[in-house]
Homo-oligomer: A and B are copies of this chain.
Amino acid sequence: MEDVLRALLRGEIDIATAKNKLRVLNIKRVGDVAKLDVNRAQRTGAPEAILAQDKRPEDVRRLALAMAEENGYALITRVKEEDVAELEGNLPDGYELIRNQKARTVILKREGHLFPKAGRIGVLAAGTADISVAEEVVVTAEVMGCEVIKAYDVGVAGIHRLYEPLTEMLEKNVAAIVVVAGMDAVLPIVVSSHVDVPVVGVPTSVGYGMGKDGIAGLMTMLQTCSPGLAVVNIDNGFGAGVFAAIVAKQSRI
């Protein structure tokens, strides 16, 4: 800043130029720090991930390779068939692909890269139609180092199947339980009324008529008077996986 003012005094620049230089200076300084902060995503504990949904296959491939080169792996979510074809057709030596079709994910991994170990969570899905989102939770949490105990199809219709895995989860001291549910989304409320660990609810876009697209389920979870439940957006398995894994990690800090 002093330089600008001196230049002005020495008549090397006029007032208009000085004013502009001064307003630009600050933004530069903020930018300098932001650049130092480039590994922010890493520090927050969030995984290296790419949401493939709205991206062209060549962009997905390019971004994934850059990420994997730097960090050992890239997690690609909501992957399309074309993305997989593009990745498989151009896989550099020393890399491998781990696909989970139900979760619609692909992990591009440098051979030999090992995921850390960082705690344990539970994942429950109410119905068969919720499994895809639940698997996205699982893959995400595993990439972040979590061991995952999972059980599906344990909603209202199959509530008798709920308690065995729930017992196991509590015995094994899971740090958090993610509950994925569509339709009326009552399962997260039932679970959170039974346990003393944080429950993360993920409404899914399953359902029809009034309250379809997951809206009814989201509202149900937000309205519940059974505390100990927080939610992420409809179908956001990735977000729930990250959140639960962060809970699991921080409990070991």
Instruction: List the interface of chain A (C-beta within 8 A of B).
Output: 16, 19-20, 23-24, 26-38, 40-41, 43-46, 51, 53-55, 59, 127-129, 155-157, 159-160, 162-164, 166-167, 170-171, 173, 175-176, 183-186, 189-190, 192-198, 200, 203, 205-236, 238-240, 242-243, 246-247, 249-253
Contact = CB atoms under 8 A, between A and B. Distances in A.
Given A196-B23, A198-B243, A242-B228, A34 B160 contact: yes
Nearest to A166: B27
Count the copies.
8
A198 B242 CA distance: 9
Given A192-B44, A193-B44, A231-B231, A28 B167 contact: yes
Contact of A223 (B34, B38, B184, B240): B184
B230 A211 contact: no
A220 B219 contact: yes
A234 B209 contact: yes
B167 A226 contact: no
A243 B214 contact: no
